[in-house]
Amino acid sequence: MNFSQVYPAYASSSETFDLQHLNGDIHQITGKNNFTGFKTGQSQKIKLWVKSTLISESELCLTIG
Protein backbone atom coordinates (compact mmCIF):
# COMPACT_ATOMS: atom_id res chain seq x y z
CA MET A 1 0.00 0.00 0.00
CA ASN A 2 1.37 3.43 -0.91
CA PHE A 3 0.70 6.54 1.17
CA SER A 4 1.82 10.14 1.35
CA GLN A 5 3.79 11.48 4.33
CA VAL A 6 5.46 14.85 3.82
CA TYR A 7 8.40 14.07 6.12
CA PRO A 8 10.23 10.86 5.11
CA ALA A 9 10.10 7.98 7.57
CA TYR A 10 13.59 6.91 8.62
CA ALA A 11 12.63 3.86 10.73
CA SER A 12 9.71 1.52 11.33
CA SER A 13 8.79 -1.37 13.59
CA SER A 14 6.26 -4.10 12.86
CA GLU A 15 6.12 -7.87 13.15
CA THR A 16 4.17 -8.19 9.89
CA PHE A 17 4.99 -5.13 7.74
CA ASP A 18 7.95 -3.39 6.13
CA LEU A 19 7.94 0.34 5.38
CA GLN A 20 9.97 1.89 2.59
CA HIS A 21 10.41 5.52 1.51
CA LEU A 22 10.00 5.47 -2.29
CA ASN A 23 10.35 9.05 -3.51
CA GLY A 24 9.44 12.54 -2.29
CA ASP A 25 6.44 12.11 0.01
CA ILE A 26 5.51 8.59 -1.18
CA HIS A 27 6.05 5.62 1.14
CA GLN A 28 5.09 1.97 0.73
CA ILE A 29 3.95 -0.59 3.30
CA THR A 30 4.36 -4.24 2.29
CA GLY A 31 3.64 -7.46 4.14
CA LYS A 32 6.49 -9.59 5.45
CA ASN A 33 6.57 -13.35 4.80
CA ASN A 34 4.46 -13.99 7.92
CA PHE A 35 1.64 -11.62 6.82
CA THR A 36 -1.42 -13.74 6.02
CA GLY A 37 -3.79 -10.96 4.95
CA PHE A 38 -6.34 -8.61 6.46
CA LYS A 39 -9.29 -9.97 8.42
CA THR A 40 -12.52 -8.06 9.03
CA GLY A 41 -12.47 -6.31 12.40
CA GLN A 42 -8.78 -7.03 13.06
CA SER A 43 -6.36 -4.13 13.56
CA GLN A 44 -2.84 -4.12 12.14
CA LYS A 45 -0.17 -1.73 13.42
CA ILE A 46 3.13 -0.38 12.22
CA LYS A 47 5.20 2.12 14.20
CA LEU A 48 7.15 4.66 12.20
CA TRP A 49 9.56 7.45 12.97
CA VAL A 50 9.84 10.64 10.93
CA LYS A 51 12.15 13.63 11.21
CA SER A 52 9.33 16.07 12.00
CA THR A 53 5.57 15.68 12.48
CA LEU A 54 3.72 12.40 12.97
CA ILE A 55 0.88 10.92 10.96
CA SER A 56 -2.34 11.28 12.89
CA GLU A 57 -5.08 8.67 12.83
CA SER A 58 -7.22 11.01 10.73
CA GLU A 59 -4.46 11.30 8.10
CA LEU A 60 -4.02 7.54 7.66
CA CYS A 61 -7.20 5.61 8.29
CA LEU A 62 -7.87 2.30 6.53
CA THR A 63 -11.12 0.38 6.56
CA ILE A 64 -10.92 -3.26 5.57
CA GLY A 65 -13.95 -5.47 5.17
3-33 pLDDT per residue, tens = 888 888 888 899 999 999 899 889 999 999 9
Predicted model pTM: 0.67
Distances (CA, A) of 32 to 19, 36, 54: 10, 9, 23
Is 20 within 8 Å of 30 (Cβ atoms)? yes
- Cβ contacts of residue 49 below 8 Å, gap of 6+? 9, 10, 11, 12
55 pLDDT more than 70 = no
- Kindly state the percentage of the chain with pLDDT values over 90: 32
| CA–CA separation, 61 and 32 (whole Å) | 21
